[in-house]
Amino acid sequence: PASAVSGPAGDLLVGGVSLAGLAGQYGTPLYVLDETEVRTRARAWLRAVPGAEVVYAAKAFLSRAVADWVREEGLGLDVCSAGELELAMSRGFPAARIVMHGNAKSPEDLRAALRHGVGRIVIDSDCEIARLAAHVPGPDPQRVMVRVLPGIEAGAHHKIRTGTEGQKFGLSLTSGDAEDAVARVLGQPRLELVGLHCHLGSQIASTEPYARAAHRMVGFLARIRERHGVTLPELDLGGGFAVPYLPGDPAPAPAAFGRRIRDELARACAEFDFPEPRLTLEPGRSVIAPAGVALYRVLSVKRSGREVFVAVDGGMSDNPRPSLYGARYTARMVGRSSAAPMRTATVVGRHCEAGDVLAESVELPEDIRPGDLLAVPASGAYHLSMASGYNLVGRPPLVAVAGGQERLLLRRETFEDCMRREVTP
Ligand code: LLP
């Protein structure tokens, strides 16, 4: 996090709180979230796109406190399950500022979205249209968008590319599926089509795909006006904005993404003589990833061939990203200063598989030993939200820090928690 400063004896302070102190108090593995950084980044997005709606993608990480922070800062929320929606509603999140996503929304998801009256439901398949229309409760139609597959390649890894043809999300622009869906939604009086949505992928480190998407989507809006006589007032270009994981990783600031998108939107609207739609963006990772730090305790140090393996007390159950997406991380020792020379090591987890690697080619002091602490930055997004029960190690706790104060947001998952769902035979 931006607030990280060196403390005495190799310690690191985040939000004015000692990481070594937190590890001592709460144990490890431990996740630390800098509240100020989340709020600052949320505000940066609002400033980047004045007049637009910014909805935080809850899938990156959601807890009650995070829902409160983004609501207080004026963001909306992108949810993709009844669970995420219910958590938000339990904190009094205004339903009008919630967008519901999902390529295969369950009956529970749809029921919850309709019952709470979320601001937008994003339609992702033909099957959904009639199902949704049949269940709209009140006298007012439900506001919906159609998710378009714009045919644009972007994103860090094939598993997180969602703008290209031939995958499960969205309705294809080139095949005509998107236009068919638009026509069908327009024919449903219980649904009010307010606009179009697309989402290109995740960890996108260039502004260009967004410019291309803006242009293509405005072109489609103009075609809808021509063929169906309706001027849709909204355009949601999704999330996917990259953050740096390693020093020097390219990652444009929110302001740069915002500027490029606004410029291209204005240009495309002039070209197609189309009134500028209300813009929505859905950053998840970009709001929260840099605010998180994962803390681990070293359990063993082993030389194997030419490799040095530093094994810690967490791993792929709290951070599945390296094994799922080949994601790269760095790590540094905290809580002890060492004058030893640095050497290259691989930081691995404690799980029973060889792919359980947290960070490769990390420079760590030669004298690193069991009991030392390692901090992994940029751990705020898609770690705890994707944490699993693998090997029954229990999911780590989460502590929020701000202004020199800490607050426990999630306690550690205990063995009893893990056993709670077991039905005694
Ligand atoms: N909007 C929609 C419709 C999405 O599907 C997503 C992410 C977002 C917004 C937010 O994307 P972000 O700004 O966070 O990149 N688990 C993967 C990332 C999966 C992203 C899924 N959808 C990872 O750890 O890299």
Comparing 16-30, 31-45, 163-177, 203-217, which segment has the lowest mean pLDDT?
163-177
Atom of ligand 1 nearest to the CA of 320: 24
Atom of ligand 1 nearest to the CA of 386: 16
| pLDDT for res 227 | 97
Res. 401: pLDDT tops 80: yes
Q: What's the whole-number mean pLDDT along residues 337-366?
A: 97
Catalytic residues: 352
Q: What's the whole-number mean pLDDT along residues 352-368?
A: 97
* Domains detected in the chain: 5-33+290-419 (2.40.37.10), 35-288 (3.20.20.10)
- pLDDT category, 164, cuts 50, 70, 90? confident
Res. 169: pLDDT tops 90: yes
pLDDT digits (tens, 9 = 90+) for 84-97: 999 999 999 999 99
ipTM passes above 0.90: yes
pLDDT digits (tens, 9 = 90+) for 223-235: 999 999 999 999 9
| pLDDT for res 167 | 84
Which residue numbers belong to the known binding site? 240, 282-285, 321, 325, 353, 382
User: Burial of 61 by CB count in 10 Å (0-12 exposed, 13-18 middle, 19+ buried)?
Assistant: buried
- pLDDT category, 158, cuts 50, 70, 90? confident
Q: Are 289 and 381 in contact (CB under 8 A)?
A: yes
Cα distance between residue 364 and residue 309, in whole Å = 11
User: What does the buried/exposed string (b/e) look like for 77-88 if buried means 16 or more CB atoms within 10 Å of the residue's CB?
Assistant: bbbbbbebbebb
Instruction: Name the residue at shortest CA distance from atom 24 of ligand 1.
Output: 382
Q: What's the whole-number mean pLDDT along residues 327-352?
A: 97
Instruction: Name the residue at shortest CA distance from atom 6 of ligand 1.
Output: 239
| pLDDT for res 312 | 98
Atom of ligand 1 nearest to the CA of 157: 25
pLDDT digits (tens, 9 = 90+) for 121-138: 999 999 999 999 999 998
Is residue 202 in contact with ligand 1, taking CB distance under 6 Å? yes
Residue type, 421: R
| pLDDT for res 160 | 75
Percentage of the residues of the chain whose pLDDT score is greater than 90: 95
